[in-house]
């Protein structure tokens, strides 16, 4: 179909054999048999438990709550809420506990009813601990030892964080900034603030502190480096700068592993990065930065669907690519970060695919094309019309015979047209300018005569 992708079709299969961890080796075209660990596996209902296992800390709770809210399926919702409940019970956030229990509403049996004694114990303990931390902090402050004050603030912030008072946690983490003495402290401070900000949804702070951390003179270790890349990618994703987001995710090193599960799982890096790259990169970029990127390939192995759809896209197998995307969609809509962007990204990817499809042809039969994109001819016509109007495809539609003809602008005519047009505009502007100049002259003459 495309002349320039020789060897590409075969390549992914070979690579698979080298890198894959089983599952999809035998036939990468067929959707792999349920890789249970993937966050977005398969077209049917997602495996909430497997999904939750990818994350730790508050993000696990937040993601599960998000799923419970959005999934619209009672079984799944209860499953998610049950796991949230168990997770919270292990922590100390009594407010969230009350909320979750109210959401469960007794649907999970007596074991999940409101446990007043637990709440009381937690609250009492929290009260004591807070008092102790505050006392300690004021003691440190009177002693004026920088390091201790920093630790004091840090402890207090940690305490607030674990109790779900994110605003206070953020404030206290920021306060440690003045007491940081080494680069290590600065990086730690930045990572803490990034963590809280992501949960607060304040991505301005995220990108600020990412750049602050990257500016520290000391060489960052590769894990921190990867973490910062992910955080920056998330920040760009939220601000809809998909190309930049894709770059950041693609630059993430494989060292990330499971070190940042309180924010993002490596599977997410693959999904977010892959989709953003598809939506925003051109063909060569896609090849150089995604398909040939060894680091990123490791991530892609974790989510074979995304890898497959990227390869399909590059090899112009749009039907299969779009099928993968459709399969992924319900799960992606349940992702706490990606859900708002799914529609835009999908639309962009689709447009890219249509443009790429039409590019090498002089004429395209709309029926064939519609079946390749699994849509009706009328629908395809509308899409093409929009793209032609935006000047993204140079072609015209023969709506009678349902054929798309590429349109090659006649350079000579266009030049003549433009020259004549420009000449006319020029003439008009010069005339208007001469007139204005004469008016000015007249005015200044009046002024001088008035003066004398």
Partner 1 sequence: MDSVEALVAHIQGLSGSPAEVAQLHSLLKQSEDTLRSQAARLAPFLPQLDPSAHTLGYLFLLEAYSSEPNLREQADIFVSIVVEFINSCSTEQIRLAPEKFISVCKSFKDQVMQLQVPMQGIAPLRMALRKIQTSSEQLTPLHPDYLTLCLLAKCYKAGLSVLNDDIFEVDQPRDLFLYCYYGGMINIGLKRFVKALECLHNVVTAPMTALNETAVEAYKKYILVSLILNGQVPSFPKYTSAAAHRNLKSYTQPYVDLANCYATGTFSEFEACIQTHLEKFQSDSNLGLVKQVLSSLYKRNIQRLTQTYLTLSLQDIANAVQLKTPKEAEMHVLRMIQDGEIFATINQKDGMVSFHEDPEQYKTCHMIEHIDSSIQRLMALSKKLSSLDEHISCDPAYLAKVSSPTTESTERKWSMEELSLWLVFSVIFYDSCFLNCVSFYLSSQFK
If the CB atoms of residues 98 and 434 are measured against partner 1, the closer one turns out to be 434
Give the three-class secondary structure for 407. Answer: coil
Residue 240 engages partner 1 in binding (rule: CB under 8 A) = no
Residue 139 engages partner 1 in binding (rule: CB under 8 A) = no
Residue 396 engages partner 1 in binding (rule: CB under 8 A) = yes
Question: For residue 369, how many other CB atoms are within 10 A of its CB?
Answer: 21
Residue in 19, 66, 361, 405 binding partner 1, rule: CB under 8 A: 405
Site string for partner 1, 332-371 (x = CB under 8 A): ----------------------------------------
Number of residues that bind partner 1 (CB under 8 A): 41
If the CB atoms of residues 111 and 389 are measured against partner 1, the closer one turns out to be 389
Residue in 448, 449, 450, 452 binding partner 1, rule: CB under 8 A: 448
Tell me the C-alpha distance between 209 and 192, whole Å.
10
CA angle 176, 179, 181 (to 5 degrees): 120
Pair 48, 316: CB distance under 8 Å: no
Calculate helix-pair angle for 222-238, 266-280, nearest 10 degrees: 50
Tell me the C-alpha distance between 212 and 433, whole Å.
52
If the CB atoms of residues 90 and 452 are measured against partner 1, the closer one turns out to be 452
With contacts defined by CB under 8 A, name the span among 109-117, 170-178, 353-361, 419-427 that binds partner 1. Answer: 419-427
Question: For residue 366, how many other CB atoms are within 10 A of its CB?
Answer: 20
CB of 367 to partner 1, least distance (A): 16
Tell me the C-alpha distance between 274 and 146, whole Å.
44
Residue 400 engages partner 1 in binding (rule: CB under 8 A) = yes
Residue 442 engages partner 1 in binding (rule: CB under 8 A) = yes
Residues 111-146 as b/e (b if ≥16 CB within 10 A, e otherwise) read ebeeeeeeeeebeeebeebeeebeeebeebeeeeee
CB of 448 to partner 1, least distance (A): 7
If the CB atoms of residues 219 and 389 are measured against partner 1, the closer one turns out to be 389
Question: For residue 399, how many other CB atoms are within 10 A of its CB?
Answer: 13
Structure token pair of residue 51: 């999904």
Sites of contact with partner 1 (CB under 8 A): 384-385, 388-389, 396-401, 405, 410, 412-413, 416-417, 419-420, 422-440, 442-444, 448
């Amino acid at each position: 179909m495309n002349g320039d992708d020789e060897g590409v079709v075969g390549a992914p299969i070979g690579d698979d054999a080298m890198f894959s961890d089983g599952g999809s080796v035998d036939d990468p075209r067929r959707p792999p048999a349920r890789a249970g660990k993937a966050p977005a596996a398969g077209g049917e209902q997602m495996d909430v438990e497997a999904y939750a296992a990818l994350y730790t800390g508050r993000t696990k709770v937040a993601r599960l709550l998000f799923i419970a809210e959005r999934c619209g399926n009672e079984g799944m919702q209860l499953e998610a809420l049950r796991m949230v409940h168990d997770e919270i019970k292990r922590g100390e956030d009594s407010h969230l506990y009350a909320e979750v229990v109210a959401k469960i509403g007794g649907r999970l049996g007596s074991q999940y009813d409101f446990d007043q004694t637990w709440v009381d114990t937690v609250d009492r303990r929290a009260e004591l601990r807070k008092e102790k931390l505050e006392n300690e902090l004021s003691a440190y402050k009177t002693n004026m030892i920088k390091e201790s004050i920093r630790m004091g603030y840090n402890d207090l912030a940690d305490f607030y964080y674990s109790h779900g008072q994110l605003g206070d946690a953020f404030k206290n983490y920021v306060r440690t900034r003045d007491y940081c003495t080494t680069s290590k402290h600065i990086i730690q401070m930045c990572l803490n603030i990034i963590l809280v900000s992501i949960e607060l949804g304040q991505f301005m702070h995220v990108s600020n502190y990412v750049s602050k951390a990257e500016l520290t003179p000391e060489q960052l270790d590769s894990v921190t480096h990867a973490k910062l890349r992910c955080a920056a990618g998330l920040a760009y994703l939220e601000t809809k700068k998909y190309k930049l987001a894709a770059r950041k995710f693609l630059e993430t090193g494989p060292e990330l592993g499971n070190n940042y599960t309180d924010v993002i799982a490596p599977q997410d890096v693959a999904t977010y990065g892959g989709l953003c790259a598809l939506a925003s990169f051109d063909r060569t970029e896609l090849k150089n930065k995604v398909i040939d990127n060894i680091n990123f390939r490791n991530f892609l192995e974790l989510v074979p669907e995304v890898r497959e759809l990227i390869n399909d896209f590059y090899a112009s197998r749009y039907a299969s690519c779009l099928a993968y995307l459709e399969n992924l969609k319900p799960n992606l809509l349940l992702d706490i970060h990606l859900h708002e962007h799914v529609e835009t990204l999908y639309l962009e990817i689709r447009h890219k695919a249509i443009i790429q499809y039409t590019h090498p042809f002089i004429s395209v039969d709309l029926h064939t094309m519609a079946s390749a994109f699994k849509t009706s001819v009328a629908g395809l016509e509308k899409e093409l019309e929009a793209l032609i109007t935006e000047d993204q495809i140079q072609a015209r539609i023969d709506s009678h015979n349902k054929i798309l003809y590429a349109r090659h602008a006649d350079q000579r005519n266009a030049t003549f047209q433009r020259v004549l047009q420009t000449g006319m505009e020029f003439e008009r502007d010069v005339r208007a300018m001469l007139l204005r100049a004469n008016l000015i002259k007249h005015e200044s003459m009046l002024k001088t005569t008035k003066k004398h």
